[in-house]
Copies of this chain bind each other. A is one copy, B any other.
Amino acid sequence: MATLETKRATGLTISDVAQETGLTSHTLRYYERAGLLAGVERNGSGHRRYTSEDVEWVILVTRLRATGMPIRLIRRYAELVRDGEGNEAERLALLEAHRAEVVARLDQLHRNLELIDYKIGLYRERACDVGAR
C-alpha cells in the first residue's frame, strides 16, 4: 500500500479522488471520456494518477454540475481552458450566460416555493376544512 509520502510524490489514485470529491471512479472515468478533464497522467502500469490541480478542477466541475450546467458546456469550457490564453472572453461569456440561467432558475424556484408555502399554510390553518387541494 502506498504511503501518504508516496502519494504526494506520485499523485492520487482514482479512488482517492472519488472519495475526496464524492464522485465514483466510474463517474470520474466517464467525465474524462466526455472531455471534462484534461488528460490525467498515468503511472507505469497505466493507472491514473491525479495531481492536486486535477482534483481542484474536478471539484470545480462538480460545482458547475450542481448548478445544472450540462456536460457539453462544461466540456466546452474545459476545451477553452486547455487551449490556453487568448480565449478568456469566450470563457467569461460562457460563465456569464450560465450565471444568468442559474439566477433565473433561482427566481423561479423562489416563486414556486411561495406556492408550496401557500398550500402548506392552507393545510395547517384549515386542516379539518373540506376544499383544500
Is A67 an interface position by the 8 A CB rule?
A: yes
Given contacts A63-B115, A106-B109, A110-B106, contact A133 B96 (CB under 8 A): no
Assess whether B67 is in contact with A112, with CB atoms less than 8 Å apart: yes
* CB nearest neighbor in B for A114: B63
Among A15-23, A28-36, A122-130, the stretch that binds chain B is A122-130
Copies in the complex: 2
Assess whether B60 is in contact with A113, with CB atoms less than 8 Å apart: no
**Could you list which residues of chain A lie within 8 angstroms of chain B, going by C-beta atoms?**
56-57, 60, 63-64, 66-67, 81, 85, 88-89, 91-92, 95-96, 98-99, 102-103, 105-106, 108-110, 112-113, 115-117, 119-120, 123-124, 127-128, 130, 132-133
